[in-house]
Structure 1
Amino acid sequence: MPHLYLVDGSGYIFRAYHVLPKLTNQHGEPAGAVYGYTTMLWKLAKELHEADGPTHLAVILDAAEHTFRNEMYDQYKAHRPPAPEDLVPQFPMIRDATRAFSLPCIEEAGWEADDLIASYAKAALAQGWQVTVISSDKDLMQLLTEPGIDMLDTMRDRRMGPEAVVEKFGVGPEKLGEVLALMGDAVDNVPGVPGVGPKTAAKLINEYGDVEAVLAAAPGMKPGKLRENLIANAEMARLSRKLVELASDVPLPQPLEEMALDGIPEAPLRAFLEHHGFKSLLAKLGQVADAPAPTPVSPTALPQAEEPPCDHDSYATVTDEAALDRWIAEARHQGYVAIDTETTGKDPMLAELVGVSLALAPNRACYIPLAHGGTDMFAEKPVQLDRDAALAKLRPLLEDPGVLKIGHNLKYDLIILARVGVDVAPYDDSIVMSFDLDAGLHGHGMDELAATHLSHSCIAYKDVVGTGKKQLGFHEVDLRTATRYAAEDADVTLRLWRRFRARLPVEGSTRIYEMVDRPLVAVIARMERHGIKVDRERLAQLSRGFDTEIAALETVIHGLAGGPFTIGSPKQLGDVLFERMGIKGGRKGKSGVYSTDVNELERIAASHESPGAEIAMRVLDWRQLTKLKNTYTDTLQEQINPATGRVHTSYSLTGAQTGRLSSTDPNLQNIPIRTETGRQIRDAFVAEPGNVILAADYSQIELRLAAHMADVPALKEAFARGDDIHSLTAQELFGELNRDTRARAKTINFAILYGISRWGLAGRLAVTPDEAQAMIDRYFERFPGISRYIADTLTHARDNGFTQTLFGRKTHFPRLKSKVQHERQGAERAAINAPIQGTSADIIKRAMARMEPALAEAGLTGTRMLLQVHDELVFEVPQAEVDAARVVIERVMATAAEPAVKLDVPLAVEIGVGESWGAAH
């Protein structure tokens, strides 16, 4: 009997990514997930073929994030974080891997992989085939209603049938969709019914039968929160039932017969494995002798002296003062030491110090436990040094100007140690070194760098503390295990530093490291410690105000629509606009649902004669307010540190490959700038009594840098005169200056620097592609230096594989030579902008590094730098220091490029002052 195996490719990809260490292939591309996926697929295609006998096999993937479910509910999967930065470039390589096995790789726009799997399973069962779904996804368990289908979780080597659904959810697979609808799904943002979890959902479905029956029975239930929630959220429950239902009638992109598993042709697989350098997999083809998993190397790595592999048994646990004294004396004599801290959590403003590790040479490392043992006062604690006594001995070493301290992502450790009174200096940071050498080639986390440069797989944190309900705090880990993990971190950091230190001068990266990035580590650590005060009540008022406005908008929208409907449901909104109200020009997706995205609503709103223009405008307002409330005013309240009353965002020096800082927890860089509601949110960021907020913003810095770097006389002269550059461009391009031509010129000015295509510009300006191309051509005629800059930048990038800023920052673009057109074009656009955006980032970083000494020299000891957002620095300033601080801040920012770089255009700085961040604008 034919037996079809359907592989849930997305599940395989993420398992491969998280289970295996991060690796790069011989081209310097991230390839850990590719290697893991290839290995797992080989096991299925070959070993299972021999042992279990699948006759047909296909890998099913998600084509894109937007599907027909987004048209039903625009918040579907809205809160999912983006894929990890180093995983994104591996997706096309994973598709290549599938095809290298000569296996069908199936995806379809508008549909999720689950829907394709359901449709193929239904078609195969109808022909009398057996079906096995390779997945552990709960949504796919709805398929286990037929005797001819089962699921296989290859990670646990477990086959699942209907009994597995009953065991996990308390209902059979035929009722699973009802349970999933009531309980909702936080990952996919399926709303469900608040307060209803798996057990309550199963109880309700077992009692009443399905969602509709539960909702019908709700008014008769005993008074309580469950009854209230079921009644209030009835429509969301119905919507959730549709969202979780698998579509099993998707037209099959490829016939079942073409999925026959007839062995693996060697030639395409060999070519794929050779391209990536996967030696151990090539060995299976008989090409090379057995070898370990790939030993990826950086393409620019220098020959290094042989080092012994990490020997965890050689690491020492320091539990007495005499031993600690010996380690400190040896570090002082040597002049450098790698350090790392172990703590109780990830947030350095909340976590407590548990221990410190040191490394002096490969395998010469130790761990100094300071706060191990249970939290219960009666819990037995291991023998360890008194924390205060140990810190009193470590402080002189860590603050000694004659001893270099080396860390990896040292910013975290600086904050932890500063909170216990230790000011670490001087220092090197291996994560920043790696970024300055190899930005764009791979990630810079310790695990990935250890695999890439040391061929070493670090101990996983979860293997030390466990997972789930049984997870321990690091302070509860036994000292032997803690020592192996913590000392390894310091040992690996030291080994990476030795390699990167040798590469910096040879590869021309010393300048960017020493002049821009290294000094910034301590500056940002202090900024994060300072945080910024947030008015909780103001945020709460905004949330309540947004609630009122949202409710009022809903009333207006329902009145305009002639009755209530779920505004967040694109399907219902589309039916209202294009069916009930009769608006012309609606476009349907493959699922038959009208599009109601922002472009479509703006089109309707712009048509003032349309009967739906007002409702479209109101829906756009409703969407904006809903997002602001959920993303900012509600969430920011939860992120106020209870000890300081301030928000402490976390900055990453390696988060954006162009060198820009990125901000998380919370992300303050995405607060809307130009809207009134966005300003209201910034109004909640306030100064302490007796202080004000000062915001200093570079004016049009990227356009100024473009004028200098592309050598455009007209632009340089205009900036020197202080002209409005967008007005100049409007006059040059359109021959006249008015509000419309200036707005278009502004869009073109910035879009050109990002390498925008004719189609991209056409979309932004609402013109035809030919009209957009004519504007681009005209722009290059008037400013030929920009055209030359773009051509020269791309030529340099293609020849060398990277671009450079004026300060020497390199950004690598391995996809510039991709055979896949959209990948190559995306890399080209990024390469065009990287030198300009990267130089802008370098300049503001230099300003930040110089700011504290300049303020101190001026005697402005109360002025503190709190935030960096795009081209803006935000300060908290005592009222008595405002005038003097304004002068110092403007001078430091305006001259930040000098003397390393002398620009042909002035850097203009706009400064505002107010009681809040919003008022400072």
Structure 2
Amino acid sequence: MAAKTKDAKRLYLVDGSAYIFRAYHALPPLTRKSDGAPVGAVSGFCNMLYKLLTDMADEHDPTHFAVIFDYSAKTFRNEIYSAYKANRPEPPEDLRPQFSMVRDATRAFNVPCIELEGYEADDLIATYARQVEAEGGEAVIISSDKDLMQLITDKVTMFDTMKNKKVGREEVIEKFGLGPEHVIDIQALAGDSTDNVPGVPGIGIKTAAQLIEEYGDLDTLLERAEEIKQKKRRENLIEFADQARISRDLVTLKTDTPVEDKIDDFVTRPIDKDMLVAFLKEMEFSTLTRRVEADLGGGESGLAAATSTSKEAVYETIFDEKTLQGWVDEARERGIVAFDTETDSLNAMRANLVGVSMATRAGRACYIPLGHGGDGLALDDEDAGKQIKIDKALKILKPLLEDASVLKIGQNLKYDALVLSRYDIRIAPFDDTMLMSYALDCGKGNHNMDELAERHLGHTTIKFSDIAGTGKKAKTFDQIAIKDASKYAAEDADITLRLYEVLKPRLAAEGKATVYETLERALAPIIVSMEREGVKVDKQVLSRLSSDFAQRMAAAEAEAHKIADEEFNLGSPKQISELLFGKLGLPGGKKTAKGAWSTKADVLEQLAADGHDLPQVILEWRGLSKLKSTYTDALPEEINPETGRVHTSYHMAATTTGRLSSNDPNLQNIPIRSEDGRKIRTAFIHEKGNTLVSADYSQIELRLVAHIADLKSMKQAFADGLDIHAMTASEMFDTPIKDMDPMVRRRAKAINFGIIYGISAFGLANQLGISRTEAKEYIDAYFKKFPGIRQYMDDTIASAKAQGFVETIFGRRTYVGGINDKNPAMRGYSERQAINAPIQGAAADVIRRAMIRMPSALKKAKLSAKMLMQVHDELIFECPEAEAEKTCDVIADVMIGAPAPVVNLSVPLVVDARAGANWEEAH
């Protein structure tokens, strides 16, 4: 079997030196019969390593593996503190000759054997762990050494093979009283007699943890040592402050060790059976030799080969009610079932149910065909006539899917729940593997089943195109032969259950259970209700707008032809580029990777800003064309014939910040800064006797910036209800707020919003129509007036570089892949992403929490309002006109109180809630 390679690396790092000493002390002395050489430690090491490799093959899925050793007793730490490890006894005489043999044993297992002069194994482990973490992978350190606990993160864990125990954040807290980020400071204070780290006399682990918890870190504690009430403790902290700092240097593991071997060199490799057996025979380890020969047999062996022990899948197609009832009973008995629906459309509000698949355990799944037989199904498919009637099948399935004692597992369950809700089935309780993955690994790629199966199971799934075809000849699911459909559908349920078994334990282990349960899973039923409710649109308004846009496009086209003195296609980038940069020779053109002139909006906007008329006319035509094609022409086609309303589909795991996105139609991107874009909102209306309510957070991201970066002047301005942009302008430009020039306020507003998105001088210059030099001066002045912003940015980038991720104040994590990239453009983009994600993500978390609480709050207030849409920081409802005022009050209260009690913001949130005859009027 070929060695495993995956995008998401899972690196196992074995503390080889610790393994040697464990093996030596755990076993009685052993000598080789032929020459009397001591080999007890080598024997123990080989048995431990072989067990580890085979256990991992059965239970884990490492992509990379290495054993790390100490090079010698002397390291750079002896230069810091000459007495470091001075009280450690010399290795026993019979152990010394075994060090080199253990390294030979490691190589015999075809495993990388790594060491580096001047450094301890712990430093190399730290370096490789941080490297793989920065690449978006994860590391598992095979050791019980407390010194390594400082490395623990959600992507770096430890595993004690002797106790068969994982060591994560909770275990570190149990050991040290605080989390991994405080281990260094605690050890610096408490010292370590084993390694002769001096610490501070009289302070142990427990006391050190209490002090660090109170003062935050070692430096702050030492600076404020005179505040300590206990006399002896205070005197020792003052007298031995430098000793504590030295101790910190000693216990801090180097994460930038100049390692020569790269992580890619550690890809898991098959054991060379002949090489390993030859070594074991040379060492005269007869028992282990026989075991290896029996286990590995012939051919390729070892870690990479052993991972092919997955269970053989058994899938069944169900054609009768009795068999179906048997599966339902089995699911009830187990208390858990993975399931999936198959339909004839991706539009859940228009889809017909074609079949249902279930899995009760890994490798055991079934498919119940219900609606095969559409045009295109093979006429000789005799199975089509065997299908259970859909009403009879659902009568058996409904009690199971609604049974509170059976956990239902799905992948993007929102879709299945919406489809089944139209058949009067409400799924509960449930777990969603897509949302689990999103809570755990946001920023690490997509969360669809195919990619998750590859990433976590090393399994390539049957693709829909494999059975349905592609292009114009592609079949819908009801047209696919049942035999082919069954394999595909049953596998979906099977893989979903397997993914659940991988992802569910990680939620608690990595501290993301709360994020998943309170921000992801809890929102899914809310989204289902919103999507099913839909929103009413006025076709006549859209028709009038479409006609108006068409006329204005024609006028713009005529004007463009007149300016160019020739006719050309305004929808052709090629013709536009040839005209602007060829015939007219306008400056500032940028070529694409294919060598063509770019006609993107930013290029045309710059030309228009420089006073060229034609680019401005083209931009106007493009804007109208997009509004017409995307909205005024398309929205009437999206009206559901059964409901008479438009039902968008929300994606819950598509962005890296937690924001929802939508399509079919996309209601998130209707432009609201232009008058024409706002006109489209007038087409969104209510049923007779009702009204629309729009509730929008005011400047929520700026308020969150003020809270997160602790910007005192900005927080005070928000607390006082001041115009934040006027206040910023006053601070920056030393201008009184009263009678302020609107242009000055506009500039401050652009900077306020631009800064949190990492806007450059170039971008600000374009936005404000000023020189790049002037824009840079504005940005510099902003940072000078609000130094907390710069500090937040610097701290966030540094943290992202070190950890590979950023988090919101609610615990949502986003991995930032290119934060340490050598390419400046990629690194710069990732740095802007790192700055923005905690802010935009926190705003997304706030509105998610509000959405989740909203139905119960409205019900408690005895209001009948329905939530229809979520667009960025805005929620749109429909309610009886008589309830409008009270509904606005309740909605605003829920939205304002959404962060609590998890986060108590130091700035007030403000919500504008208004009722109106249409969306634009309410907004």
TM superposition score normalised by structure 1: 0.64
Distance in 1, matches of 2:917 and 2:308, equals 57
Q: Letter of the aligned partner of 1:463 in structure 2?
A: D
Q: Which residue of 1 aligns with 2:902?
A: 900
Q: Letter of the aligned partner of 1:654 in structure 2?
A: A
Q: Which residue of 1 aligns with 2:876?
A: 874
Contact 1:295 1:455 in 2 (8 A): no
How far is the alpha carbon of 1:362 from its aligned partner? 0.9
Q: Which residue of 2 aligns with 1:325?
A: 325
Contact 2:888 2:914 in 1 (8 A): no
Q: Which residue of 2 aligns with 1:650?
A: 649
Q: Which residue of 1 aligns with 2:493?
A: 490
Distance in 2, matches of 1:622 and 1:440, equals 36
How has the CA–CA distance of structure 1 residues 308 and 569 changed in structure 2, closer, same or farther, with 3 Å as cutoff?
A: closer
Distance in 2, matches of 1:784 and 1:588, equals 36
Contact 2:652 2:660 in 1 (8 A): yes
Q: Letter of the aligned partner of 2:899 in structure 1?
A: A
Q: Which residue of 2 aligns with 1:360?
A: 360
Q: Letter of the aligned partner of 1:528 in structure 2?
A: E
SS in 2 for 1:648: coil
Q: Letter of the aligned partner of 1:342 in structure 2?
A: E
The equivalent position to 1:462 in structure 2, one of 443, 462, 465, is: 465
Q: Letter of the aligned partner of 1:392 in structure 2?
A: K
1:918 matched to 2:920? The reply is: yes
Contact 1:27 1:276 in 2 (8 A): no
1:85-484 mapped onto 2 (5 Å cutoff): 274=264, 277=267, 309=310, 311-312=312-313, 314-374=314-374, 381-468=384-471, 471-484=474-487
Q: Which residue of 1 aligns with 2:180?
A: none
Q: Letter of the aligned partner of 1:311 in structure 2?
A: E
How far is the alpha carbon of 1:848 from its aligned partner? 0.7
How far is the alpha carbon of 1:431 from its aligned partner? 0.2
How far is the alpha carbon of 1:589 from its aligned partner? 6.1
Distance in 1, matches of 2:485 and 2:536, equals 37
Distance in 1, matches of 2:304 and 2:422, equals 40
SS in 1 for 2:626: helix
Q: Which runs of 5+ in 1 are unaligned?
A: 1-20, 29-91, 94-269, 283-288, 297-304
Distance in 2, matches of 1:309 and 1:448, equals 18
The equivalent position to 1:853 in structure 2, one of 822, 831, 856, is: 856
How has the CA–CA distance of structure 1 residues 715 and 290 changed in structure 2, closer, same or farther, with 3 Å as cutoff?
A: farther
Contact 1:310 1:488 in 2 (8 A): no
How far is the alpha carbon of 1:644 from its aligned partner? 2.1
Q: Which residue of 2 aligns with 1:206?
A: none
Decide which structure has the larger Cα Rg and report it. Answer: 2
How far is the alpha carbon of 1:643 from its aligned partner? 2.4
1:26 matched to 2:9? The reply is: yes
SS in 1 for 2:920: coil
Contact 2:376 2:479 in 1 (8 A): no
The equivalent position to 2:741 in structure 1, one of 738, 742, 747, is: 738
How has the CA–CA distance of structure 1 residues 572 and 324 changed in structure 2, closer, same or farther, with 3 Å as cutoff?
A: closer
Residues 503-536 of structure 1 deviation map (CA, whole Å, 9 limit, x = unaligned): 0011110111111111111111111111111222
Q: Which residue of 2 aligns with 1:117?
A: none
How far is the alpha carbon of 1:393 from its aligned partner? 1.8
Distance in 2, matches of 1:606 and 1:466, equals 49
Distance in 1, matches of 2:626 and 2:696, equals 26
How far is the alpha carbon of 1:307 from its aligned partner? 10
1:486-525 mapped onto 2 (5 Å cutoff): 486-525=489-528
How has the CA–CA distance of structure 1 residues 22 and 481 changed in structure 2, closer, same or farther, with 3 Å as cutoff?
A: farther
1:557-568 mapped onto 2 (5 Å cutoff): 557-559=560-562, 564-568=567-571
How far is the alpha carbon of 1:276 from its aligned partner? 9.5
Q: Letter of the aligned partner of 1:349 in structure 2?
A: M
How far is the alpha carbon of 1:681 from its aligned partner? 1.1
Range with greater deviation from structure 2 (630-639 or 540-549)? 630-639
Distance in 1, matches of 2:527 and 2:720, equals 35
How has the CA–CA distance of structure 1 residues 824 and 469 changed in structure 2, closer, same or farther, with 3 Å as cutoff?
A: closer
Q: Which residue of 1 aligns with 2:847?
A: 844
The equivalent position to 1:528 in structure 2, one of 528, 531, 554, is: 531
1:28-67 mapped onto 2 (5 Å cutoff): none
Contact 2:536 2:685 in 1 (8 A): yes
Q: Letter of the aligned partner of 2:641 in structure 1?
A: P
Distance in 2, matches of 1:603 and 1:845, equals 38
SS in 1 for 2:386: coil
SS in 1 for 2:919: coil
Q: Letter of the aligned partner of 1:497 in structure 2?
A: Y
Q: Which residue of 2 aligns with 1:713?
A: 712
Distance in 2, matches of 1:343 and 1:733, equals 59
Contact 1:24 1:442 in 2 (8 A): no
Distance in 2, matches of 1:571 and 1:342, equals 43
Contact 1:25 1:277 in 2 (8 A): no
Residues 247-297 of structure 1 deviation map (CA, whole Å, 9 limit, x = unaligned): xxxxxxxxxxxxxxxxxxxxxxx99993694979x9xxxxxx9989x989x
Distance in 2, matches of 1:587 and 1:449, equals 42
Q: Which residue of 2 aligns with 1:864?
A: 866
Range with greater deviation from structure 2 (885-894 or 874-883)? 874-883
SS in 2 for 1:360: strand
SS in 1 for 2:870: strand
Q: Which residue of 2 aligns with 1:641?
A: 640
Distance in 1, matches of 2:858 and 2:775, equals 48
Contact 1:273 1:279 in 2 (8 A): no
Q: Letter of the aligned partner of 1:371 in structure 2?
A: G
Q: Letter of the aligned partner of 1:756 in structure 2?
A: I
Residues 785-841 of structure 1 deviation map (CA, whole Å, 9 limit, x = unaligned): 111211221122112111111111110112112122211111111001111111110
Contact 2:591 2:598 in 1 (8 A): yes
Contact 1:535 1:684 in 2 (8 A): yes
Q: Which residue of 1 aligns with 2:911?
A: 909
Residues 31-50 of structure 1 deviation map (CA, whole Å, 9 limit, x = unaligned): xxxxxxxxxxxxxxxxxxxx
Q: Which runs of 5+ in 2 are unaligned?
A: 12-134, 137-259, 273-297
1:574-653 mapped onto 2 (5 Å cutoff): 598=601, 602=605, 613=613, 617-653=616-652
Distance in 2, matches of 1:765 and 1:449, equals 44
Distance in 2, matches of 1:653 and 1:554, equals 40
Q: Which residue of 1 aligns with 2:35?
A: none
Distance in 2, matches of 1:628 and 1:774, equals 37
TM superposition score normalised by structure 2: 0.64
Distance in 1, matches of 2:516 and 2:806, equals 16
Distance in 1, matches of 2:434 and 2:351, equals 21
Q: Which residue of 2 aligns with 1:890?
A: 892
Distance in 2, matches of 1:629 and 1:714, equals 45
Distance in 2, matches of 1:652 and 1:567, equals 33
Contact 1:308 1:362 in 2 (8 A): no
SS in 1 for 2:545: helix
Residues 601-652 of structure 1 deviation map (CA, whole Å, 9 limit, x = unaligned): 5566557xx6x64x55444322321221122212222222232222211111
How far is the alpha carbon of 1:551 from its aligned partner? 1.8
Q: Which residue of 2 aligns with 1:661?
A: 660
Q: Which residue of 1 aligns with 2:220?
A: none
Contact 1:25 1:276 in 2 (8 A): no
Distance in 2, matches of 1:623 and 1:456, equals 45
How has the CA–CA distance of structure 1 residues 726 and 291 changed in structure 2, closer, same or farther, with 3 Å as cutoff?
A: farther
Contact 1:26 1:276 in 2 (8 A): no
How has the CA–CA distance of structure 1 residues 23 and 723 changed in structure 2, closer, same or farther, with 3 Å as cutoff?
A: same
How far is the alpha carbon of 1:560 from its aligned partner? 5.3
Q: Which residue of 2 aligns with 1:753?
A: 756
Distance in 2, matches of 1:520 and 1:424, equals 14
Contact 2:590 2:603 in 1 (8 A): no
Distance in 2, matches of 1:691 and 1:489, equals 43
SS in 2 for 1:520: helix
Distance in 1, matches of 2:527 and 2:346, equals 17
Instruction: Number of aligned residue pairs: give it.
Output: 641
SS in 1 for 2:915: strand
Range with greater deviation from structure 2 (621-630 or 498-507)? 621-630
Distance in 1, matches of 2:532 and 2:818, equals 38
